[in-house]
């Protein structure tokens, strides 16, 4: 068990752990989210999904797909395309619903690593 001499020392330790965890967890979780979203994303030639690896800013926690068909497919047509039978509109919401617990586990694992 970690022992502290005073409240300030404990508080500084917690702040340090929080900063380190956040620094490492944001890219890890955003990269995992990008991988997970593939399950429900439309896939014909793959350019829409692959645009995410080019345009996302994983270090900042931003996952972005930039292609002409993204908006139309995300908000519109709900039928699955030929490349992915599981594709749905509003794919991000379904991805979050199914994977948020795993993303939390990634964060907790990183937190536990730093609090040792």
| pLDDT one-digit tens code per residue, 76-115 | 865 666 678 888 999 999 999 999 999 999 999 999 999 9
CA distances from 27 to 45, 63, 69, 108 (A): 27, 10, 26, 14
Structural domain containing residue 44 = 25-115
Among 84, 101, 97, residue whose Cα is nearest residue 41: 84
- Higher-confidence residue of 84 and 8: namely 8
Does some domain include residue 56? yes
- Report residue 49 as tokens: 């999904």
What pTM does this model have?
0.87
Structural domain contains residue 59? yes
Q: What is the DSSP letter of 68?
A: T
**Rg over CA atoms, the chain:** 19
Our count of domains for the chain comes to: 1
């Amino acid at each position: 068990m970690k022992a502290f001499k005073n409240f300030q020392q404990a508080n500084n330790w917690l702040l340090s752990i929080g900063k380190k965890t956040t620094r490492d967890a944001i890219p890890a979780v955003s990269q995992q989210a990008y991988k997970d979203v593939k399950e429900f994303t439309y896939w014909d030639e793959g350019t829409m999904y692959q645009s995410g690896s080019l345009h996302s800013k994983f270090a900042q926690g931003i996952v972005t797909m930039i292609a002409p068909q993204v908006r139309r497919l995300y908000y519109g047509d709900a039928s699955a395309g030929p490349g992915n039978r599981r594709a749905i509109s509003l794919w991000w919401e379904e991805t979050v619903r199914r994977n948020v617990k795993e993303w939390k586990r990634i964060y907790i694992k990183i937190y536990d690593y730093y609090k040792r």
